[in-house]
Amino acid sequence: MEIIQVSVGQMQANCYLVGSHEHKQAAIVDPGDDASLIMDTLKHQDWEPVMILATHGHFDHLMAAFELQENYQVPFFIHQQDAFLLSRMAETARYFLGPEAICLPPQEVDYVDVDRPYTIGDTSNTINVIQAPGHTPGSVCFYLEKEEALFCGDVLFANGGYGRTDFAYSSVMDLQASIDTLFTFPEDTLIYSGHGEVSTIGVEKTLYV
């Protein structure tokens, strides 16, 4: 599998395309703004998306979901406890980006099952769902087993950073517990965060205070 990072939107959120050149299929993780760029990247790789996975419900990670579903007719998965954030997407986008911001929620929504591994199309590559609340109540991480890659949204960032907990629905204690869970993964596990650079569990364990 190949993992391509695409930084999108005014808030420079990371969208990840996880694809197989053999099977020409891919999963889209966190489709932030700029659906055109995401679609152009998929076309360049000759990949057909089979699913959209959301680490959490914040608008800057999901603004392209509506248009991508419209073009590809693929399922969109999010944890049920973050579903309430989808109805706030338009309002929140205008608050952060200005009154001209246009943000439509996904057309159809499926809820992730933390007990079910998700297969990327016809490939043998599976993605496991790890609950990681704190930044939002329904934050999850997606673990690509064969690549030892962890897509963790805004739970953990490179260089010792982690997600905000000043929202009314956030929890410092839950985020701490979630980060502790991530730190049980092997130290060479790659961390693909919602913003910023790629890191590893080993590096972040030495920086986290």
pTM: 0.94
Tell me whether residue 73 is exposed, middle or buried, using C-beta atoms within 10 angstroms of its C-beta: 0 to 12, 13 to 18, 19 or more. Answer: exposed
Tell me the pLDDT of the chain averaged across its residues: 93
**Per-residue confidence (pLDDT) for residue 103, from 0 to 100:** 79
Q: Is the pLDDT of residue 130 over 90?
A: yes
| Mean per-residue pLDDT, 73-86 | 96
Report the SS3 class of residue 70. Answer: helix
Please count the structural domains in the chain.
1
pLDDT, tens digit, for every residue of 132-160? 999 999 999 999 988 999 999 999 999 99
CATH number of the domain that 203 lies in?
3.60.15.10
Comparing 89 with 161, the larger pLDDT belongs to: 161
The residue range of the domain holding 76 is: 2-207
8 Å CB contact between 148 and 198: no
Identify which of 149, 141, 142, 162 has the alpha carbon closest to the alpha carbon of residue 205. Answer: 162
**Per-residue confidence (pLDDT) for residue 99, from 0 to 100:** 72
**Per-residue confidence (pLDDT) for residue 209, from 0 to 100:** 61
Confidence band for 33, pLDDT divided at 50, 70 and 90: confident
- Which phi and psi angles does 110 have, rounded to 5°? -115, 150
Q: Is the pLDDT of residue 101 over 80?
A: no
Distance CA 29, CA 22 (A): 20
**Per-residue confidence (pLDDT) for residue 122, from 0 to 100:** 86
Residues 6+ apart with CB under 8 A from 142: 29, 53, 55, 127, 128, 129, 130, 150, 151
